[in-house]
Structure 1
Amino acid sequence: MQCPCHTERVSAPTDVPDLVARTLDLSRRRGFITSTRHETGRLLAALAASRSGTLAELGTGCGVGSAWLHSGAPKEASIVSAELDPDLAEDVQEIFGDAENVRVLAGDWSALEEFTPFSLLFVDVRDVMADIDVLADMLEAGGIAVLDDFVPSSFWPPIVDGQVDSIREQWLTDERFAAVEMLIDPDASLIIATRR
């Protein structure tokens, strides 16, 4: 006989906000097999709740990260995101049609520069993460960068696939930031870096 107090082990609540569910549905329809994990999304929502001003996502994809930001952000905060694929950007814009504080642009990440400085910046594009100087200049003092999609490493400097992960090393040691790497799953980590 099973104990009535037995619960299934899960890492977080399984329900998600409506906009997140809609962007996840778009991800499935578009064939994206990876998107922002729920653990990362809940962290984005929690961080967004403490922010004001402009929040941004570099690498919109199907809008999952932006939907999580929206779920936590105060109503007076604005969210801007850029997607390189114009058709995908249009689909994501449609999902956010009723969210007056969210703007999805068709273009590369540099299209967001006119909206700086950001109080929170979610970066989900590895090539962009390498340009730490540009990203640092996009953040206000006290602004937070969240960098996604790292593979955990138990070494220092961090080693992935037999090579030093120079992007992660740079973010964790740059004196302009107070930064920490967080394990969000056994196979995934992210970096949170606050601009001094």
Structure 2
Amino acid sequence: MSAPAEIPDLVARSLDLARQRGFITSTRHETGRLLAALAASRAGTLAELGTGTGVGSAWLSSGARKEARIVSAELDPSLAGDVQQIFADVDNVEIVAGDWSALEEHAPFSLLFVDVREVMEQIDVLANLLEPGGIAVLDDFVPSVHWPPIVDGQVDVVREQWLTDERFAAVELLIDEGASLVIATRR
């Protein structure tokens, strides 16, 4: 069996920026490879809410079809400028300096990657940003063996809401022993 493909150049450059900027965590390679695989199945507009140093957008770009468009919003204008430089030669990626809601004008999305907890709480807004059949990937959950999911002694109401909302067919995936994500497809 062969090993997974090397880290794409844009991902490596985004990870370098993360180290330079002191980001402790970025999108895991396992999550990134999943994003690339899902992006390969999508047409239209793909989005990341919470650019950070652009690692998620880089993974999306590595798998996206040539005709797909990727947009991402970063609140910190200086960081957004640095990420824009990473993607300067990539025609189908746009990094917007601003709040995540600045991406609403680019909707509907066929794939939406969200790794900001406060944004995940906005399920009604996010549901309206997805086209029918659109996929939301929600990152950075702590696995729970209980139902409803319990984290730090409390019900994880955000995860519970996404997994039970009738507008979505949703599943939680274990990424490694300490991390999971939710994939929700808009019905």
Query: Which bin holds the TM-score, normalised by the shorter protein?
Result: over 0.9
1:146 is aligned to 2:140: no
Q: Distance in 1 between matches of 2:142 and 2:55?
A: 20
Secondary structure in structure 2 of the residue aligned to 1:19 = helix
* Change in 2 beyond 3 A, CA 1:78/1:14: closer
Q: Distance in 1 between matches of 2:7 and 2:119?
A: 28
Q: 1:4 maps to what in 2?
A: none
Q: Distance in 2 between matches of 1:124 and 1:164?
A: 19
Deviation of 1:14 (Å)? 6.8
Deviations 1:80-131 (A, max 9, x none): 0000000000000000000000000000100000000000000010001011
Q: Distance in 1 between matches of 2:29 and 2:46?
A: 19
Q: 2:125 maps to what in 1?
A: 134
Instruction: State how 1:1-196 maps to structure 2 within 5 Å.
Output: 13=4, 15-196=6-187
Deviation of 1:13 (Å)? 2.9
Deviation of 1:153 (Å)? 0.2
Give identity over the alignment, percent.
80
Secondary structure in structure 2 of the residue aligned to 1:82 = strand
The answer for unaligned runs of 5 or more in structure 1 is 1-6
Q: Distance in 1 between matches of 2:111 and 2:96?
A: 17
TM-score (norm 1): 0.94
Q: Runs in 1 of length 4+ with deviation above 3 angstroms?
A: none
Q: Distance in 2 between matches of 1:25 and 1:175?
A: 40
Q: Distance in 2 between matches of 1:75 and 1:99?
A: 10
Secondary structure in structure 1 of the residue aligned to 2:25 = coil
The answer for unaligned runs of 5 or more in structure 2 is none
Secondary structure in structure 2 of the residue aligned to 1:103 = strand
| Larger gyration radius, structure 1 or structure 2 | 1
